[in-house]
Structure 1
């Protein structure tokens, strides 16, 4: 009886030895694997609806000659790639592109340096001072872009600006009633201060949050080895947070490169269109010059540049992962 029972149990048990096929996946397991895709489906659908269709319409518009005459007469004039050829063959386009790259590089460098120093300061402050500084950073971060730009316009106003008043009282009398938007350099200075002021909180708070994940034993070991503050940063903090630095720098490059509101609201790309970046240039060519096809083509080229930057970033990430393996 016992031998027969054991033999029957052995025959009924699932065969999991080498060379046997695994049991088929249950419907419940397949449904569980589909849950993440179902959860992101609404967000993906809204993104495609709001951005995808707009991109398609903008792409079609870039192949048209659309101006005031075409709008009034409701006609469509397809021009192929003429808009792209005219844009790429224009010296002004490449001048604005170079200006945009330099503007982005300067802003991102300042943002990362000041943001990282502020984040490291948060990690060393006491609880009360850290809470106070974090509150100030959050308030600066959540302020709407238009509101922040308006405040900076008041601060640097030629007649009633606080900045000119303080500089005059401190002894720089030549700065009294100084026109900050009268030259290319001074206008870019105001825009840079505004963008850096808005971006530093994001970097600082994220860096501080990332430093809390570093094991304290690493700093204790480095301190026992005689490492100072700078050595601890280069040997412990920076290697541990390298993915954070890479990802945050990439996000800041995209955010600064495509910034439109700050540049346009401060002086509409002036004086004499000397502070136009690619987004402002596309708007001025499209809306200002009433050549909407050209504006659409320039905006598409701007997106292509951002995609090239994204591809370069992904290449760096993959290379870093390969090095870690």
Structure 2
């Protein structure tokens, strides 16, 4: 005998059908206020395209032309294809200047980051009055125009009436009475490096000091209870908080130092004998100085490409380090 049992009525969970993929809740219509952020960004984007995008496009167009003073006066357009790039890349001057620029930027960025970090940590340790005094001095050094500070350094290191030579003579270095600081490649780069480092330390120091104010004091107290010394406390507490700021400031300093045209050109115009030219100065002298405007534009475009490659390589290292730390 077969007993038939009635199936229990389906509950609410069984009665409801599973949602069909792609048939979810309809999206709410966009309100007028949703477009406000884009409208606020529109002036900045437009200004960037006008003042940065168009000059870059115009420079790229000029780099494919044979443009000198005759063509400029007669308003002639002579296209020469990639001849400018071929002449630059096959010549020895460009690669010599490129290597010099990379070494110059590397030395400057290393000094800036080390000294700027030390000054930033010093700001976090000293008293309030000394901190305010030091911060005012840093801001004044940072706010000084580049041309003005370069002119001051020219006066400080002048051969006959320079303050540096006078101070060295007073200290007993009689041979420095008429020393020409701009007579050799090394001494000229020394003065330029001193100037750039002096101008850049305030930005790094103030940025890192601001970063130290975000570190909770409880972490230092816990580290002290665990018996950590000053170095251990710095590596385990301070450094993890400062690392993102160090990455960001290093990235900005690489860009800023690599295009340090004003300091190098104002100090000695790339001399002596063009031995202190870096890529921006090299592009200016070839383009404006020698009136080879197409050649100068091509050098400028290659400089942008090299800068992008260097920054991309740096960002790749940073991202890899962050992944390894996770």
Instruction: Return the TM-score normalized by structure 1.
Output: 0.90
Q: 2 CA distance for matches of 1:98 and 1:306?
A: 13
The aligned runs of 1:258-297 (5 Å cut-off) are 258-297=259-298
Q: 2 CA distance for matches of 1:38 and 1:231?
A: 49
Query: What whole-Å deviation, never above 9, does each CA across 1:75-106 have from its counterpart, x for those lacking one?
Result: 11101111111111111100000000000011
SS of the residue corresponding to residue 296 of structure 2 reads helix
Query: What whole-Å deviation, never above 9, does each CA across 1:211-256 have from its counterpart, x for those lacking one?
Result: 0101111111222222222221112111221111111111101000
- For 1:221, the equivalent position in structure 2 comes to 222
Deviation at 1:32, TM superposition (A): 3.8
- For 1:34, the equivalent position in structure 2 comes to 35
Q: 2 CA distance for matches of 1:323 and 1:22?
A: 40
Query: What whole-Å deviation, never above 9, does each CA across 1:87-126 have from its counterpart, x for those lacking one?
Result: 1111110000000000001100100010000000000011
Deviation at 1:257, TM superposition (A): 0.3
Deviation at 1:151, TM superposition (A): 0.9
Deviation at 1:310, TM superposition (A): 2.8
- For 1:300, the equivalent position in structure 2 comes to 301
Q: 2 CA distance for matches of 1:36 and 1:242?
A: 31
Q: 2 CA distance for matches of 1:234 and 1:187?
A: 37
SS of the residue corresponding to residue 154 of structure 1 reads helix
1:22 aligns with 2:25: yes
Q: 2 CA distance for matches of 1:150 and 1:175?
A: 21
Q: 2 CA distance for matches of 1:273 and 1:37?
A: 48
1:118 aligns with 2:119: yes
Instruction: Return the TM-score normalized by structure 2.
Output: 0.90
- For 2:109, the equivalent position in structure 1 comes to 108
Query: What whole-Å deviation, never above 9, does each CA across 1:240-295 have from its counterpart, x for those lacking one?
Result: 21111111111101000011000000000000000000000000111111111110
How many residues align? The count is: 308
State the structure with more CA Rg. Answer: 2
- For 2:137, the equivalent position in structure 1 comes to 136
- For 1:150, the equivalent position in structure 2 comes to 151
Q: 1 CA distance for matches of 2:180 and 2:322?
A: 50
- For 1:12, the equivalent position in structure 2 comes to none
Question: For structure 2, which runs of at least 5 residues remain unmatched after alignment?
Answer: 1-16
Give the root-mean-square deviation of aligned CA atoms: 1.7
SS of the residue corresponding to residue 119 of structure 2 reads helix
- For 2:206, the equivalent position in structure 1 comes to 205
- For 1:189, the equivalent position in structure 2 comes to 190
Deviation at 1:322, TM superposition (A): 3.9
Q: 2 CA distance for matches of 1:324 and 1:22?
A: 40
- For 2:165, the equivalent position in structure 1 comes to 164
Residues 185 and 51 of structure 1: CA distance in aligned 2, closer, same or farther (over 3 Å):
same
Q: 1 CA distance for matches of 2:95 and 2:300?
A: 14
SS of the residue corresponding to residue 27 of structure 1 reads coil
- For 2:48, the equivalent position in structure 1 comes to 47
Q: 1 CA distance for matches of 2:114 and 2:272?
A: 29
Decide whether the 8 Å contact of 2:211 with 2:241 is kept in 1. no
- For 2:96, the equivalent position in structure 1 comes to 95
Question: For structure 1, which runs of at least 5 residues remain unmatched after alignment?
Answer: 1-16
Q: 2 CA distance for matches of 1:73 and 1:27?
A: 55
Q: 1 CA distance for matches of 2:62 and 2:297?
A: 6
Deviation at 1:317, TM superposition (A): 4.6
Deviation at 1:311, TM superposition (A): 2.0
